[in-house]
Amino acid sequence: MAGAYDDRDGKIWLDGELVDWRDAQVHILTHALHYASSVFEGERCYAGKIFKGHEHSLRLIESARLLDMPSPLTAEEIDAAKEQVLQANGFTDAYVRAVMWRGSGPEMGVSAKGNPVRIAIAAWEWGNYYGDAKWQGAKLDIAKWKRPSPETIPTAAKAAGLYMICTMSKHAAEAKGCSDALFMDWEGFVAEATGANIFFTKGGEVHTPLADRFLNGITRQTIIALLKDAGRTVHERRILPEELADFEECWLTGTAAEVTPVAQIGDYSFTVGPIAREVSDIYEKLVRS
């Protein structure tokens, strides 16, 4: 499938029914467009099975709750809708995007409790998020923006509004020939990339930022469990930016990124080494099992 995302063949699930792709529309006065009252999930389907699909549905509902939006569907109903989308489009390997938002209604101000909460689910075929970096190692810029304090935003929500600085930072990174950008948090500790969590190695042990001030990714949690099952020591902790000089390997994790090694962050270089390859191989086997 190619072309603009609003001009494709296929079906999208919208508020309880499958509609033609081009007919999946919202009004210009949709509350989410003006006030970012929207949450979403990104999932991958491998060989006909969505990896941790139910966990993603649960997180979608929780993200909405954190934004004071009651979900109109249960996780099981969202699961079933995702399966309908895959079947309707004939996909067995695909990326699945579920989104929940406040639509247009009787209110058009900051408060919008009278507006309906809507859900849509789309799916499309999507290859490696970072292209050739999947094997060669991604190059990351260091973002000028910082991840804000949990006192200012609902950091546990996968909310659309939290990605504003991600888009800006990724654009700036791409202008420099990089694949992505690394954020520090508001205190100056290493946080995450624009759409992926980050891991490092040193002396055979793994280090990753403590995910209590940014989204604790489902793929991140999966990778930590896989590493521990393989006998690897994993340190979840605060990481200072100057520590990047001492790390040997680095990789990103996320539903879209899967496991993508990193070769460079700013002036720091990393080896695309055996632990990253080991993690990638184990993850590939798990999602296709």
User: Which H helix or E strand runs over 201?
Assistant: strand 197-202
The per-residue b/e assignment along 67-85, b for 16 or more CB within 10 angstroms, e otherwise, is bebebebebeebbebbbeb
| Residues forming beta bridges with residue 138, ordered by sequence position | 262
Residue 56 CB coordination number (10 Å)? 25
- Residue 240: how many CA atoms within 13 Å on its side-chain side? 4
- DSSP string for 56-106: HHHHHHHHHHHTT---SS-HHHHHHHHHHHHHHHT-SSEEEEEEEEE-SSS
Q: Which two tokens stand for residue 154?
A: 């609902």
Torsions phi, psi of 232, nearest 5? -85, 140
Query: Taking Cα atoms as reference points, which of 43, 120, 122, 123 lies closest to residue 91?
Result: 123
Instruction: Choose the catalytic residue: 158, 176, 202, 285.
Output: 158
User: Strand pairing of 38-46 and 17-20?
Assistant: unpaired
Does residue 158 carry a catalytic annotation? Answer: yes
Distance CA 167, CA 124 (A): 21
- If 0-12 CB within 10 Å is exposed, 13-18 middle and 19+ buried, where does residue 233 land? exposed
Catalytically annotated residues:
158
